[in-house]
C-alpha cells in the first residue's frame, strides 16, 4: 500500500496513519511534523519521505528494520547524533540528508567540514548518500580507499622486509663480533636505524589516516 497524498497538507500529528500497519511507502514531505514515534507501529515501511518538516531527531526510526530508503532533507537535524542510531539498520541503503538546492535549508549536520565523510564512516551498510554512490565497485570512494589500502599494505611489507634484513645482519654480527661492548654498540646503532625507519613509516600511515576523511569529502563534493 502506498500513501502519496499526505505531502504539503499541514500535518503536525501522525496518528492519522497509524492504522495502516502494512504500508510500505509513505510520503510525508512538506508538513510540520516533529514527532516520529507514531510511525514505529508501521513496521513494514521500506520507503519513507520526510523532506521539509521540523524534525530534530530521527533516531527512533532505527526501529523500522525494513526501511530501505529515507529522505529526511530540509529538517532541523543539527548533529550527526540526531541520526546515529539509524546506522544500525542493515537494510537502509539510500539516505538523503543534504538539500540539493538552497544551502540554508539543509540540515545543520551537513554544513560541517567532516560531511559527508562522517556519515559514510558511521553508516557501514549505506550504498547511496544524497544520491551519490558511496560503496561498491562503482564507487569513487571505494576506489580511493582501495588505492590507499594497497599503498599502506605495500609499505607494511617493505617495513617487515627491512626488519628481517636487519635481524639477519645482526645474526651474522653475533658470529663476527666476539667483543661484547663492540657488539652492543652495533646493536644499538642498528636499533636506532630501524626505529627511525619505523617512525617515518608510522608517521606516514598516521598522516594518510588523518587526511582520509578530508580526501573522501573533497572527492564526494566533486562527483
pLDDT at 205: 67
Strands 25-27 and 47-49: parallel
Say whether 9 sits in a helix, a strand or coil.
coil
Task: Say which residue, 113 or 202, is predicted with more confidence.
Answer: 113
pLDDT at 112: 83
pLDDT tens string 23-60: 999 999 999 999 999 999 999 999 999 999 999 999 99
pLDDT at 134: 84
This prediction has a pTM of 0.63
Q: What residue segments make up the domains of the chain, in order of their start?
A: 2-133, 140-222
pLDDT at 45: 94
The pLDDT confidence band at residue 192, using thresholds 50, 70 and 90, is confident
pLDDT tens string 66-125: 999 999 999 999 999 999 999 999 999 999 999 877 656 789 999 888 899 899 999 999
Residues linked to residue 132 through DSSP beta bridges, in sequence order:
129
Q: What percent of the chain has pLDDT over 90?
A: 44
Q: Is 27 left (phi over 0), alpha (psi -120 to 50) or beta?
A: beta
Listed ranges 50-54, 201-205, 214-218; the one with the highest mean pLDDT: 50-54
CATH for 2-133, options being 3.80.10.10, 3.40.50.620, 2.60.34.10, 3.30.9.10:
3.80.10.10
pLDDT at 77: 97
Q: At what angle do helices 140-176 and 180-222 cross, to 10 degrees?
A: 170
Give the distance from CA 18 to its chain's centroid.
Answer: 33
Amino acid at each position: 500500500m502506498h500513501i502519496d497524498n499526505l505531502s504539503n497538507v499541514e500535518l503536525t500529528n501522525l496518528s492519522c496513519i497509524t492504522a495502516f500497519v502494512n504500508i510500505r511507502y509513505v510520503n510525508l514531505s512538506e508538513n510540520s511534523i516533529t514527532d516520529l514515534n507514531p510511525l514505529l507501529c508501521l513496521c513494514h515501511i521500506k520507503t519513507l519521505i520526510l523532506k521539509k518538516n521540523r524534525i530534530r531527531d530521527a533516531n527512533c526510526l532505527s526501529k523500522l528494520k525494513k526501511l530501505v530508503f529515507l529522505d529526511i532533507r530540509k529538517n532541523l537535524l543539527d548533529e550527526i547524533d540526531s541520526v546515529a542510531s539509524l546506522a544500525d539498520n542493515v537494510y537502509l541503503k539510500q539516505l538523503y540528508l543534504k538539500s540539493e538546492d538552497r544551502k540554508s535549508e539543509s540540515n545543520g549536520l551537513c554544513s560541517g567540514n567532516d560531511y559527508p565523510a562522517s556519515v559514510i564512516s558511521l553508516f557501514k551498510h549505506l550504498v547511496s548518500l544524497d544520491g551519490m554512490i558511496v560503496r561498491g565497485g562503482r564507487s569513487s570512494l571505494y576506489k580511493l580507499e582501495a588505492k590507499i589500502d594497497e599503498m599502506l599494505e605495500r609499505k607494511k611489507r617493505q617495513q617487515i622486509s627491512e626488519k628481517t634484513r636487519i635481524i639477519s645482519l645482526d645474526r651474522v654480527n653475533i658470529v663476527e663480533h666476539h667483543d661484547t661492548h663492540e657488539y652492543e654498540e652495533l646493536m644499538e646503532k642498528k636499533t636506532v636505524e630501524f626505529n627511525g625507519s619505523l617512525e617515518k613509516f608510522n608517521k606516514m600511515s598516521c598522516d594518510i589516516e588523518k587526511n582520509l576523511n578530508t580526501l573522501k569529502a573533497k572527492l564526494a563534493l566533486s562527483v
